[in-house]
Chain A
Amino acid sequence: MRKMLAAVSRVLAGAAQKPASRVLVASRNFANDATFEIKKCDLHRLEEGPPVTTVLTREDGLKYYRMMQTVRRMELKADQLYKQKIIRGFCHLCDGQEACCVGLEAGINPTDHLITAYRAHGFTFTRGLSVREILAELTGRRGGCAKGKGGSMHMYAKNFYGGNGIVGAQGQIFEAYNMAALWKLPCIFICENNRYGMGTSVERAAASTDYYKRGDFIPGLRVDGMDILCVREATRFAAAYCRSGKGPILMELQTYRYHGHSMSDPGVSYRTREEIQEVRSKSDPIMLLKDRMVNSNLASVEELKEIDVEVRKEIEDAAQFATADPEPPLEELGYHIYSSDPPFEVRGANQWIKFKSVS
C-alpha cells in the first residue's frame, strides 16, 4: 500500500519535481489545476485585452514558484557576496520583480529573442542559464557565463542579448517605436515600471507616466507586474498579437524593486521604508503565488517549503562554486576581440607586454 501511494505521489508531483524530494504527499490529493481571476489590464488602442481569468496547472505553478524563488534567493545571495566584496563594480538586483521575468518567459517560446538593460540577472536565469554560471560571472571567474569578462551587466545566452549597461536613450526608444510600427515588426516593448529611475521618481522624470500609452500609434497594455499570472496572460496576448502580423505592441509591467537602484544605492533616500514594507507585505509576487496555490489545493505549504529548501541548497552550491572557481587565465585577456578571425597580437600596458587574441 505504501509503495503504491508513493508511486501515485510521484506521478502527482509531476516532472517538475526533483526525484530527490523527500516529501511524501501520499496522503493528499492535489487539484490538477485551478482557475484564477486576474486584474484587467488597462488598454491603449486595443478593443480587447488579455483574459481576466486564467487556468494554472499544478505543474506550472510549482515550476513558476521554484523559478521565482530561485531568482529571489540568487539575488539575495548576490547582495551578500557584494557586501563581502566578492562581487565588484555595479550590481543591480531585481528582487521584487520576479513575476516579470518568470511571467514573461512563461508567455513566450525559448526561440523568441529577448534583450534587456542592466537589471538582468533574473532574465539571464529565465532564459536558461544556471545559477552557477550567473553567480560565477558575478564573481568574475572562468566558470561564469561570459568567462568572467562581462560581469553583472553583460550576461548573454542563446536568444538573450544581454544585459546592457548604457540606458537612457529616451529618444532612441521613440525611433525604435517608429520603425517597428512602420515595418510591422513583431516586437513587444516592455517597460518594467518600478516607480523610480535610479533615485528619481517617475513623476519627476516623465511628463506622462502612462508608459503603456507612450507608443502613441502602437497599442499598449498596463499589467500588474507583481502577479505572475497577469504577466503571463498579458505576454501570451502580446505575443499572439505580434505573431499574427499586426506589428509591435507595448507592455508596461507595474512592479517594484526591494533593493536600491544598485548596491551603491541604499534605496531609502528617495523612498520610505514604509513604502517598501507595504509592497513586501501586500504584493510580494512569490507570496501571492504561494497563497493562491495553497488556497486552491494546488500545493501544500510543506511542499513549497521543501522547494524553498532545495532552492536554498542550489544557491549555496552555486555560491560555493562561484567563490572557489579560479579567475580566468591571464593569457586569455586578449581573447574574443574579433569573431571568426585568425589569431593576432594584442598590446598590453606597454609595447613589451603582448597578449594573444583568439576568436
Chain B
Amino acid sequence: MAAVSGLVRRPLQQMTVRDAINQGMDEELERDEKVFLLGEEVAQYDGAYKVSRGLWKKYGDKRIIDTPISEMGFAGIAVGAAMAGLRPICEFMTFNFSMQAIDQVINSAAKTYYMSGGLQPVPIVFRGPNGASAGVAAQHSQCFAAWYGHCPGLKVVSPWNSEDAKGLIKSAIRDNNPVVVLENELMYGVPFEFPAEAQSKDFLVPIGKAKVERQGTHITVVSHSRPVGHCLEAATVLSKEGIECEVINMRTIRPMDIDTIEASVMKTNHLITVEGGWPQFGVGAEICARIMEGPAFNFLDAPAVRVTGADVPMPYAKILEDNSVPQVKDIIFAIKKTLNI
C-alpha cells in the first residue's frame, strides 16, 4: 500500500505505524517510570511484529518483560499491577489471544472502578494487532472492536495512520482507565507523512474524538482502522465522477464521537459505515442506531448502509478471504446505492 499523502504541503517526516507506536511507548516509558510493557516476545525478540524493537535494550528487564505463553495469567498479573499503582502496557500478540484472558480485561479491569464505588482505578493499556491480516485464517483474523466496544468501563481506540498510532497510545498510557488499543498488523509497515506537531513528546490524540480526514458534501463515510484508507481510495475514485465523500476516521470506538458523525450527516444527508468486523452487532450497527436516536435522523435522505466483513469465519483461500473483507469496490457500490446512482 503506497504512502497516503496529507492535505498539507509542508516538508514532512515519513513514519511507519510501527515506528510511531514504538516512539509513543518509548516516550511514555521515559516520562514515567511506573510505565512498563509485558507480553510474549516483547523483550528479547524485539516484539513478534517488532513493535517494541529496541525497548528492552534501552529499558531492561524491569520495564520490558517477556512472559510465558499464558494470556489469562499475565493479563491478570498486569491488572493487579495497575491496581497497585503501576501503569502496565499489556500486549496481546494478537487480540484473538485476548479471548483467553477476556475475563481479566472485562471483569478485573473494566468493571472495577465502578464496582468499587470509585475507589479503585485500573490504569492499564491492552494493546496488539486486531482484525484480519493476510491468510491467517479463522482463528487469527477476528475483529474485537464490537466485543470490547460493548463494555462500559473500557475505553477502546482504533488508530489508522501513524499520527493516530502515536497520539492514541500516548493518550491511552496517560489515561487512568483501562484502554484497549486495537492496532492492525497490515498497517504496521505502512509509512505516512508525520506532521511536525506529532514529533513532539507531548503530542496526544484525544480519546473520544473522531477526525474528518476528508471533507465532502454528498455523503458521510465513517470508518476505523485500515478501512479508513480504503474509504479515502473510494473517495478519490468517486471524486472523478463528481461525488464528494466526507470521510470520518473514528479513531475511538468507545466512547464514540457521535457528535462529529451527526454534524456530518446533517450536512451530507447520507451515511455509510465501513468496518472489517462482522455485521451483526457491529460498530456500524451501533452508529446507525445512534443516528436514529439523534437529530441527524431527520436529515437522512436514504437509509444508512453498513459495509462490513462477510458474516463467515475467515476462510483461508485467497479468493474467499478477499471476498470476506470490505474492498474499495464494495464501498463504492454502497455509496452509489445510497445516493441512488
Contacts and interface: CB of A to CB of B under 8 A. Distances in A.
Interface stretch (B16-24, B170-178, B204-212, B329-337): B329-337
B135 A349 contact: no
B43 to A, nearest CB: 9
B146 interface: no
B38 to A, nearest CB: 13
A168 B71 CA distance: 7
A50 interface: no
A351 B71 CA distance: 37
A267 to B, nearest CB: 11
A355 interface: yes
A350 interface: yes
B69 A205 contact: yes
Contact of B73 (A148, A150, A171, A327): A171
How many chain B residues sit at the interface, stated as a range, is 35 or more
B122 to A, nearest CB: 21
Given A148-B317, A154-B316, A168-B69, A270 B137 contact: no
B315 A148 contact: yes
A170 B309 CA distance: 32
B19 to A, nearest CB: 19
A146 B138 CA distance: 12
A178 B305 CA distance: 50
Interface stretch (B106-114, B251-259, B262-270, B320-328): B320-328
Contact of A347 (B135, B136, B311, B320): B311
Interface stretch (B28-36, B83-91, B94-102, B155-163): B94-102
Contacts of B72: 169, 171
A170 B69 contact: yes
Given A167-B69, A347-B311, A89 B137 contact: yes
A346 B310 contact: yes
B223 to A, nearest CB: 13
B100 A166 contact: yes
B45 A199 contact: yes
A352 B337 contact: yes
A165 B139 contact: yes
A198 B96 contact: no
A112 to B, nearest CB: 25
Contacts of A146: 316
B316 A168 contact: no
Nearest to B320: A333
Contacts, number: 164
Given A166-B96, A270-B45, A327 B317 contact: yes
A269 B50 CA distance: 13
Contacts of A197: 68-69
Contacts of A343: none
B68 to A, nearest CB: 4
Contacts of A144: 317
Contacts of B217: none
Contacts of B337: 350, 352
Nearest to B48: A198
Interface in B49-98: 66, 68-73, 96-97
B164 interface: no
B139 A206 contact: no
Contacts of B151: none
Interface string A143-171: 01010111111100000000011111111
B311 A328 contact: no
A168 B41 contact: no
Scoring A154, A170, A352 by chain B CB atoms within 10 A of each residue's CB, the highest score goes to A170
Given A168-B71, A170-B73, A347-B279, A90 B136 contact: yes
B318 A349 contact: no
Nearest to B138: A154
A151 B313 CA distance: 13
B136 A350 contact: no
Given A88-B134, A337-B312, A204 B319 contact: no
A11 interface: no
A322 B46 CA distance: 35
Nearest to A91: B135
Contact of B330 (A334, A346, A349): A349
Given A89-B134, A89-B316, A140-B318, A330 B68 contact: no
A349 B312 contact: no
Contacts of B317: 140-141, 144, 148-149, 327-328
27 contacts: A89-B134, A89-B316, A90-B140, A140-B316, A150-B138, A150-B316, A152-B316, A153-B140, A165-B96, A169-B70, A169-B71, A198-B45, A200-B66, A204-B66, A206-B68, A328-B315, A337-B313, A346-B310, A347-B311, A348-B323, A349-B308, A349-B325, A349-B326, A349-B327, A350-B307, A352-B334, A355-B310
Interface of A: 88-90, 137, 140-141, 144, 146, 148-154, 164-171, 197-200, 204-206, 269-270, 327-328, 330, 332-334, 337, 346-353, 355
